[in-house]
Amino acid sequence: MIAASPRVSITSGMRLPELDALRGLLVVYVMLVHYTHRYDELFGHTMPVPLVEGGFLRVQGLFAISGFIISMTLGRTRSAADFVYARASRLYPAYWIAVALTFLVVAFAQLPERTVSVGEAAINLSMLQEFVGAPHVDGAYWTLTIELLFYFWIALLYFSRARQFLVPVLGAWFVLALLLKFAGDVLQWAPAPYVAKAFICPWIPFFGLGMLAHRAMQLGCWDRTGAAMMAAAVVTAGICWGPASALMAFAIAVAFMLLLAGGLASLRQKPLIFLGTISYPLYLLHQNIGYVGIRWLEGQGWHPLLAIAGTMAVAITLASVIAFHIERPALRWLRNVKPNFGAAQPTPSAR
């Protein structure tokens, strides 16, 4: 062991409010990037505003949180079918509302280069649009494609004997990411980016950080193997994406260590936890609808900063309505009618 045992443990049905708070803060940061820097690139504010950058780095943080949460979810999942049902019931109700609302608002406002056809919007309802070459109703949905691929691979890992060998599997995954990076950048092998995306290689360092943090929680300690793999994830992130992503991966690793040591208790603030609670619908809704709102308000003569603040308030309100009046009731109902997919499976220890 190289550090004190983690003080955080999770039993069935419990949550980590610190993770909710972190996720909420990351989503708000991404929203600020879209409303300042990205909006300025696409449409131009009516007058200069401070530009917030680095949204992609914050998405990497969201992937890391997903790696932890999905590992935790699988630890109490009975079967692959049970996992698929749980993820679908969690993701789709809010997503369907977000797709429909975004499509209607963007179509009505005729937001330049952001409108899609009714047929393309219908394909988006499957969440599989990127797999069939259809455009996203909202550009933020690209991360859902990566999430779905992650669910596929981690479920395959968990519901096979390979789940007992998390560290070797992640090590091989990191090596594959580096090999495909070399094959694409140096050898100019044309299929390399497509193979890398299929295996989520560019993003596995971040998902892996979350998976390794969950492993430490399961073991009850940070061992040398886990620490070495965390370092390998940081290095892999740096080679795949550059120094900024390496720093982000390092910050994520430190955050997980603090989280499990009880060092992030100060994040247990109701406003931050609230943002975490609505973070999923807020992420789904904020971008294109936000662009429409900012364009309209600035067109009415509002200062860009006021337009951004007003649009953020509207986005948070819409996300709250969806989270508390659609997402949660739908999830409760779907869990109540859930079929019995089979007997519970023992959870193996992570190695």
pLDDT in tens, 313-333: 999 999 999 999 999 999 999
Phi, psi for residue 189 in degrees, rounded to 5: -75, 110
Task: Determine the straight-line distance between the first and last CA of the chain, rounded to whole angstroms.
Answer: 14
Residue type, 173: W
Query: What is the count of structural domains for the chain?
Result: 1
Mean pLDDT calculated for residue range 39-59: 93
pLDDT of 128 higher than 60: yes
**Three-state DSSP class for 327?**
helix
The C-alpha atoms of residue 300 and residue 129 are separated, in whole angstroms, by 35
Q: pLDDT band at residue 8, thresholds of 50, 70 and 90?
A: low
Q: pLDDT band at residue 126, thresholds of 50, 70 and 90?
A: very high
- Tell me the percentage of the chain whose pLDDT exceeds 70: 93
Sign of CA dihedral 16, 18, 20, 23: negative
Q: pLDDT band at residue 349, thresholds of 50, 70 and 90?
A: very low
The answer as to whether 290 is a domain residue is yes
| Predicted local confidence at residue 299, as pLDDT | 96
What is the chain's alpha carbon radius of gyration, rounded to the nearest angstrom? 21
Place of tokens 């990497």: 60
| Predicted local confidence at residue 14, as pLDDT | 52
The C-alpha atoms of residue 307 and residue 311 are separated, in whole angstroms, by 6
The C-alpha atoms of residue 121 and residue 134 are separated, in whole angstroms, by 9
Mean pLDDT estimate for the chain: 92
The answer as to whether 12 is a domain residue is no
Distance of CA 31 to the CA centre of its chain: 14
User: 2, 227 in Cβ contact below 8 A?
Assistant: yes
The answer as to whether 251 is a domain residue is yes
pLDDT of 10 higher than 80: no
pLDDT of 284 higher than 50: yes
Task: Choose the weakest-confidence range: 56-60, 130-134, 202-206, 336-340.
Answer: 336-340
- pLDDT tens per residue, range 231-260: 999 999 999 999 999 999 999 999 999 999
Q: pLDDT band at residue 350, thresholds of 50, 70 and 90?
A: very low
The answer as to whether 2 is a domain residue is no
The answer as to whether 344 is a domain residue is no
The answer as to whether 134 is a domain residue is yes
The answer as to whether 6 is a domain residue is no
| Predicted local confidence at residue 16, as pLDDT | 87
The answer as to whether 11 is a domain residue is no
pTM of the model: 0.92
337 to each of 88, 89, 334, how far by Cα in Å? Answer: 14, 11, 5
Parent domain of 116:
17-336
Place of tokens 């508390």: 324
Selection from 66, 64, 17 nearest residue 273 by Cα: 17
